Structures are given as structure tokens and as C-alpha cells.
Structure 1
Amino acid sequence: MRLTELAHGGGCGCKLGPAVLRDLLADQPIGQMFPQLLVGNAESDDAAVWQIDENTCMIATTDFFMPMVDNPRDFGRIAATNAISDIYAMGGRPVMALAILGMPINVIDPSDIREILAGGADICAEAGIPIAGGHSIDAPEPIYGLAVIGLCAPGDLRRNGGALPGDALILTKPLGVGIYSNAIKKGIATKADIAEMIDSCTTLNRIGQDLSKRPEVHAITDVTGFGILGHGMEMARAAGCGLRIERAALPLLNRAAEMAQSGLRTGASDRNWDAVGDKVTLPTGITEAEHTLLTDPQTSGGLLVSVAADAAESVLDQICSVHPKAAIIGTVIEGAGIEIV
């Protein structure tokens, strides 16, 4: 049986919707009694941050999901890359990971489970960190991911807030992962499609660690299950600003637009739109396919970077050395919400 047939969803499209998550967390303590907790639940950021001393912050995150591809090793590689991304999005250096594993033991061959774990180990080795332990359960659907710990200097910490009006917005990876995942689940993705998606999803976002050293970079977040609109809205809210996004400038996987035009999309697109649609201004004549791309849930997506306009081209050149499809996709503006042009 294909891995993707064992799960009702896949990748970051499995995430609870933003509106549901806000409701569930509404009455949870947010840590005001802990002054060392620099980033927690209240910020809707990529990871938690605890300041150890004047020179060191600890960054902690966890991320896991169900398979979006059928090759077990690739599933492990994608899940690990996605989990480590949260550390890079905060400007940190990952130092250690713990594995999170839930498998239907009587359904999946043990050799496939070993391959999933090996894929995660491959990516952690590439990131220069060990998988030092973890926890496993017998679960009805396959689940894999990591809890990751990282470090950074307080001055290198980058939150999803901090964007300033006039900043340029850079997206480091192409959109379309949710659409491609749907094509894989339906059995209509080509080998080239699958290879392209896996290549993007297994490219580490370690550039975030380098960008955090640049004072011109004001804010960073990674774009995952809530899509460019959802994570863009989190950046806008945290900064008390608005975003203007140029839909024609968005980098896309090679056949993402074609697939969207054919009607391929995920249910998470509707969820993502419901969460932010009342705060998004759309242009006259926007197509259904363009709308799908704006709400498409990403798995192990790129970083959304807010950078001073006069440094944007220099920062883009630095990013493109690792992520060749990176592009300037818009600007930070006065006001609130997101304007699509």
C-alpha cells in the first residue's frame, strides 16, 4: 500500500487551521511570569525562544505530519527539513533533534519505517546535528517529525514581527507544494514533478542563519501550512503593518500554475482563505488558479524575509546562491492586512 493512502492528509496541509488553532489556544497561559521567555504562544512565531544569558538564546520547536510522498526515505527527509526550518527562521543554529514517530505497526513493513528514520537522519547529518533520541507510538496513520533545539545570540534573533513600512519582501522557495502533493495523491504527478517537489522540500533553509547576521533584515518567518497569505498575515499582524504582494512576482514550481488552472487544489486552501480572507484585498479579475496559489499550503516551504529596500538586491543575491528561484514579491506598507496586486 502507498504511504499516501494510509493518511487522510499529508505534509503541512494536516495542520489545524489558523482560526481553529487561535480558538484552542485562546485561554492558554502565555508565559508573562517568565521574563526569559522571549517568544512563546502569544507571538504566533515559528519557535519558542528562551534567553539563557546575555550571550545565548535557546530556540525550541517541534513539527511532524503524515506522508505527502510514497517513498519512505523521502518522507523522512522532507519531515526533517521542515522541522529544522523553524530554527533557521528564527535566525538560529540547530544543535540537536529528537525523533517523533507514530506508525501503524501491523500495516507498514518495518523496513519502510527504518527508511523513514534514515531519511530524517540524512537531513540532520546535512544540518550537522544528531538525532539524540525520541519517542514512538503505534498509531492508526503514519506520522514522523522532529523536536529541534537551536541556539543564537540575542542580537541575531529574528522574529516574524519587526517588518517596517518600505521594506522589500523576499520569498526564498517557490510555491505550489500543496498542489503537487494533491497530484501525487491522485497518481497524476510525473516523475519530474515529484523530483522537483522533493528537491525543494529537502533543501535546508540554513540561509536564515546567515541572514540574521545582517541588520538590514528586519523579520523572517517560514511559509508552511497556512500558505503565503496565512504566514504573511502573521508577519503583518506582528509588525502592525500591511503587506502588498505582487501575484505575478511569486516564484512557483514549474507546473504549479498549470495544475492550479486544471483545478488541482487541497481542502486546506479553503481553510486558509477562511482564516484571513476578510483581511485580504484582491484585484479585479484575479483568477481561481491565482487564488489557489495564494492559499496553497506549503510543506518545508521557503522563508519570507522583510528587508530594508536599499539592501534588497544584495540580500536577494545572497539567497539566490542557495535558492535560485527566490524573488522579491512585494513590500511592507502602512496600515493592516494584505493587498494583492
Structure 2
Amino acid sequence: MECVKLTQYSHGAGCGCKIAPKVLKEILDQVPTSHLDPKLLVGNGTLDDAAVYEIDDDNVIISTTDFFMPIVDDPEDFGAIASVNAISDIYAMGGKPLMALAILCWPTKQLDTSVAAKVMNGARKACKEAGITIAGGHSIDGPEPIFGLAVTGIAKKNMIKKNASGQVGCNLYLSKPLGVGILSTAQKKGLLDEEDRLKARNSMITLNKIGAELGTLEGVTAMTDVTGFGLLGHLKELCEGSGMSSEISMSKVPLIDGLQKYIDLKTFPGGTHRNFDSYGDKISPLTEEQKSVLCDPQTSGGLLVAVRPDQEEQFFEVAKRYGWDPICFGQTIPTSEYVVHVKE
């Protein structure tokens, strides 16, 4: 079983499997809202990363789920990446994870159960690093391997970071470089160098733990993680939720070292085009290269953070403790012609 390549058993990969934003909206628009619970502080309304439910005057529960098909061939790495990606939704709301439930779909006639065990082992290691336990879950026999988690977290009510809580005049930062989707597609095509494979893998298995601490900072007005909709898709959601626009400088957007080689090879996932088709009309005109990077579906991507300039000192102190050297790549601005303006 050492030679098993998980990506051969799935039609998609990682967060690139996501239903396109436009299609998802069409689905949700046909589902009427049933019971509006006054204690549900965050639901579908602002397209946030997780649901938030008030349990008393000071504390909230955060609940999320995320799962997908293999983005890498190694089973343990797949389990770890899927877990880190799911837990990230808790961190993106400024919360602390409490526990997880596993979600497993496995083609038992095509893939040995020992491979599924390796996926679970990778998940347990990632959860241990996050300080939580996989307390149970659910499994089914299906045509493609799928794995993920449902995660529960907690936070102080007044510290939740929402898409709708952003303010005009904030600086924008991204905690992980872009390019995972491009590199993953290069891997499926047999074009990815081992050094670059490790760069993508190491990025995807890195927890966004810093989010729990950023949630305590008043200067951080909004936060989300960048995943399947690409940087532009998630920035658009943050801006629309907060009733504003943004400007970003392409030259300052963090990219994985060596990405240009694969841009030149045009190893772009199908999700890139689906993403642009869903929200491209709300973005200023892009070059093809800008589109390929800014709409690239990220799996287990970094945190997109909006910070007030007059309160950045604490933000930089926290970032330094986590080994992150933040570079401002844009600002939030009053509502204008486009939701996101992209400059060179």
C-alpha cells in the first residue's frame, strides 16, 4: 500500500472541490430561512467561516465543518491537511477549538482500510497539535475518498471576528502565501519539483493558531481564512459583509517562493476559472496572470486580517511571537465602483 496515490481516486482536490460561489448562492437562495434563533449571532447571513451561538452573556460556541477529497497522495498528510483546514474556521472567528468529530467517506473496494487508518492518524496528530481530541464522527462507504472534521470552539462574545465587522481605513494582511492550488495541480500533472511539493505541504499542515490570539485584539476589525474561493473571493465576502471596498497591490501579495515557474507552465486548477466566473464582475480588470494567482483555490490557506493602522503595534507583537513578518498588501476603502481594486 506504500505506492497508493490518493489523488488518483478523486475527481477534485482539496478546497478546489468547493461548489463555485455563484452556484452556492443559487442553492442557498432557494432555501428559506426557517427558525431565527436570537442566540444565533452568526449564521449564513454574512458568509462567515463558522456559526456562532451565544451560551451566556459573555461566551459563545463556534461550530463549523469542512471536508474534501485528497489534495496530496500521502494518506497521513491528507488527514492532517483536511484537519488543519477545518480547525482554521474556528481560528478565523477569533476562537479556540474544543473538540472535533471526524467525517470519512471511503471506497472500501478500491482502497485498503489500512490507508484510511493512516488518514485518521494524520488527523489525530494535527488535532493533538491544536490541543483537541477527535471525540467521534461518522463514516460511509462511497466512490471517492473524502475526509474532514466538524469542529466546536469557544470564544468571548465581544471578541468574535466577523466578515461584517470590518471598518474602512484598515490595512490588510495575509498569514500564508498564495499558490497552493497551482502547485497541487502541477503535482497531479507530474510537473512539481520535490522541494516545491514540500513547500505546499508544509504550508497546508501549518495551523492558524494565531487567530485565537488575534481575536483578543480590538485593532483587528475583521478576519477570515482564504480557502477555496481564492483571495479575491474571500476578500470580496469580507468587504461586502462590512459594506465597503478595498484596494490591493499585486506586487505586495505574498506568494509561495518559486511559484512563477508553475504560472508559466499554466498549471491552474479548474476552480480558478469557476471562481472568477462567480465574482469577476465585482473585481477591477485583471491580467490573466493576476487572475491565476488571486482566484487560485487555497486549501488550508492563511488568515486574511484587517487591522486598524492606529492599533497595529499589538498586532505586530503577536505576529512576531508566531514567526510571522506581516506585509501590508492593501487597504479597505469606502464603497466604490468595484468591491476589490487590484493595482500592480
Q: Under TM normalisation by the shorter chain, which class is it?
A: over 0.9
Q: Distance in 1 between matches of 2:323 and 2:230?
A: 18
State the partner residue of 1:100.
103
C-alpha displacement at 1:73, in angstroms? 0.2
Residue 133, structure 1, aligned to residue 129, structure 2: no
**Count, aligned residues:** 338
Is structure 2 residue 44 aligned with structure 1 residue 73?
no
Q: CA deviation at 1:319?
A: 2.1
| 2:13 is the alignment partner of 1:10 | yes
The answer as to 2:42 corresponding to 1:39 is yes
User: Structure 2: which 5+ runs fail to align?
Assistant: none
Query: Of 209, 224, 228, which residue of structure 2 is paired with 1:206?
Result: 209
Instruction: Verify the 8 A CA contact 1:172 1:323 in the aligned structure 2.
Output: no
Q: Given residue 324 of structure 1, which amino acid in structure 2 is its aligned partner?
A: W
CA contact 1:79–1:144 (8 Å) conserved in 2? yes
- 1:297 to 1:267, Cα distance in 2 relative to 1, 3 A: same
Code of the residue aligned with 1:80 in structure 2: it is: S
Q: CA deviation at 1:144?
A: 0.2
* Cα distance in structure 2, aligned partners of 1:262 and 1:323: 32
Indicate the residue corresponding to 1:217 in structure 2: 220
Distance 1:309 1:4 in 2: 43
Aligned position for 1:340: 342
Secondary structure, counterpart of 1:43 in structure 2: coil
- For residue 72 of structure 2, what is the amino acid of its counterpart? V
Q: CA shift at 1:322, angstroms? A: 2.6
Asked whether the equivalents of residues 81 and 203 of structure 1 are also in contact (C-alpha less than 8 Å), the reply is: yes
- Which of 52, 56, 62 aligns to 2:55? It is 52
Distance change (3 Å), C-alpha of 1:189 and 1:99: same
Indicate the SS of the match to 2:84.
helix
Cα–Cα, structure 1 residues 189 and 2, in superposed 2: closer, same or farther, change >3 Å? same
Shift of 1:88: 0.4
| In structure 2, distance between residues paired with 1:31 and 1:247 | 42
SS of residue matched to 1:60: strand
Conserved 8 A contact 2:213-2:318: no
Change (3 A) 1:290 1:313: farther
* Alignment equivalent of 1:227, drawn from 221, 227, 230: 230
Q: CA deviation at 1:32?
A: 6.0
Deviations 1:101-120 (A, max 9, x none): 00100111222111100000
* 2:173 counterpart residue number: 170
Residue matched to 1:294: 294
Percent identical residues: 45
- Alignment of 1:82 onto 2:85: yes
Residues 1:330 and 2:330 aligned together: yes
- Residue 61 of structure 2 aligns to a residue whose secondary structure is strand
Does the 8 Å contact 2:72/2:184 carry over to 1? yes
TM-score for the superposition, normalised by structure 1: 0.96
Provide the secondary structure at the position in 1 that maps to 2:329.
Answer: strand
Question: d(CA) in 1 for partners of 2:57 and 2:99?
Answer: 22
Equivalent residue number for residue 26 of structure 1? 29
1:64 corresponds in structure 2 to: 67
SS, match of residue 340 in structure 2: strand
Please say which of residues 305-314 and 149-158 is displaced more in the overlay: 305-314
Paired residues for 1:176-195 under 5 Å: 176-195=179-198
Code of the residue aligned with 1:301 in structure 2: it is G
Secondary structure of the structure 2 residue equivalent to 1:85:
helix
Give the AA of the match of 1:152.
Answer: A
Taking the aligned partners of 1:31 and 1:55, their CA distance within structure 2 comes to 26
Deviations 1:45-68 (A, max 9, x none): 100011011121000000000001
**What displacement does 1:320 show?**
4.6
Out of 192-201 and 30-39, give the one that drifted further.
30-39
| Offset from partner CA, 1:151-179 (integer Å, 9 cap, x none) | 01101111112211110001110000100
Q: Could you tell me how far apart the structure 2 residues matched to 1:125 and 1:316 are?
A: 27
Kept after mapping to 2: 8 A contact 1:170/1:316: no
Shift of 1:26: 0.6
2-side partners of 1:311 and 1:141: how far apart?
47
In the TM superposition, what is the alpha-carbon distance from 1:313 to its structure 2 partner?
5.7
SS in 2 for 1:169: strand
CA RMSD after TM alignment: 1.4
Q: Kindly tell me: are residues 263 and 324 of structure 1, through their superposed partners in 2, closer, same or farther at Cα, counting changes over 3 Å?
A: same
Distance across 1 between alignment mates of 2:252 and 2:185: 24
Query: Partners of 1:116 and 1:164 in 2: how far apart?
Result: 41
Contact 1:169 1:306 in 2 (8 A): yes
Whether contact under 8 Å (1:174, 1:326) holds in the other structure is no
AA aligned to 1:232 is: L
- Which residue is equivalent to 2:308? 308
Counterpart CA distance in 1 for 2:35 and 2:114 is 46
